[in-house]
């Protein structure tokens, strides 16, 4: 494996598409349930943006080989993310914190440790500096990514269950 790609893998941030892959149904029904605190800034990156950095690493190996680069395109708290989902979906989405002990019980130790780390530390990419240093990479915000993935259209197809 090329050293520049290996470096990219070691510094991987939770990609928006990977993290949100298991959440759409709840979000489309108006609930963003997550073990990360509502007030904790949380960085994500679109998989297309990761790919753009990988392409740059191949184009400019001297710039990336042996380097570690923390990348992200968006940084929001879950409370802010719920507002973005609300705006994109055109309906209210509220945040609900999942208790970490529940994560440990249902998802296991590895997920528990990961979410505990997100709550305590989390990734620290300098998104402003990344945008300035790599203007050729369009780092998508959560809202841009949701719209590009068609979330605004999905909301029309999901209805709340009848009581």
Distance CA 34, CA 96 (A): 7
- At residue 62, what are phi and psi to the nearest 5 degrees? -60, -30
Q: pLDDT value at position 24?
A: 67
- Token pair listed for 36: 């990360």
CB neighbour list of residue 21: distance below 8 Å, 6 or more residues apart: none
What are the residue ranges in the chain where pLDDT is below 70? 1-24, 155-163
According to DSSP, the residues that pair with 94 across neighbouring strands are: 31
Q: pLDDT value at position 153?
A: 85
What would the DSSP string read from start to end of 65-82?
A: TT------SEEE-HHHHH
Q: pLDDT value at position 156?
A: 66
Distance CA 126, CA 134 (A): 12
Distance CA 9, CA 88 (A): 30
User: Cβ–Cβ contacts within 10 Å for residue 136, how many?
Assistant: 8
- Token pair listed for 8: 């990219």
Q: pLDDT value at position 135?
A: 96
Q: For 3-97+124-146, which CATH superfamily applies?
A: NAD(P)-binding Rossmann-like Domain (3.40.50.720)
User: 146: alpha, beta or left, given left = phi > 0 and alpha = psi -120 to 50?
Assistant: alpha
Structure confidence by residue, pLDDT tens digits, 36-79:
999 999 999 999 999 999 999 999 999 999 999 999 999 999 99
Q: pLDDT value at position 16?
A: 42
- Single pTM value for the model: 0.78
Q: pLDDT value at position 6?
A: 35
Q: Where are the beta strands (DSSP E) in 51-131?
A: 74-76, 94-97
Report the DSSP pairing between strands 74-76 and 42-44. Answer: antiparallel
Q: pLDDT value at position 9?
A: 38
Q: pLDDT value at position 98?
A: 92
């Amino acid at each position: 494996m090329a050293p520049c790609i290996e470096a990219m893998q070691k510094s991987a941030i939770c990609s928006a598409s990977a993290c949100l892959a298991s959440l759409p149904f709840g979000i489309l029904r108006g609930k963003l349930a997550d073990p990360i605190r509502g007030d904790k800034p949380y960085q994500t990156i679109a998989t297309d943006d990761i790919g753009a950095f990988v392409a740059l690493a191949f184009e400019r190996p001297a710039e990336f080989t042996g380097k570690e680069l923390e990348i992200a395109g968006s940084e929001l708290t879950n409370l802010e993310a719920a507002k973005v989902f609300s705006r994109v979906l055109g309906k209210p989405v509220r945040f609900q914190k999942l208790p970490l002990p529940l994560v440990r019980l249902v998802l296991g130790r590895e997920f528990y440790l990961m979410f505990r780390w997100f709550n305590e530390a989390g990734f620290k990419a300098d998104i402003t500096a990344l945008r300035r240093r790599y203007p050729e990479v369009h780092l998508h915000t959560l809202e841009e990514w949701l719209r590009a993935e068609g979330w605004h259209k999905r909301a029309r197809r999901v209805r709340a269950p009848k009581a």
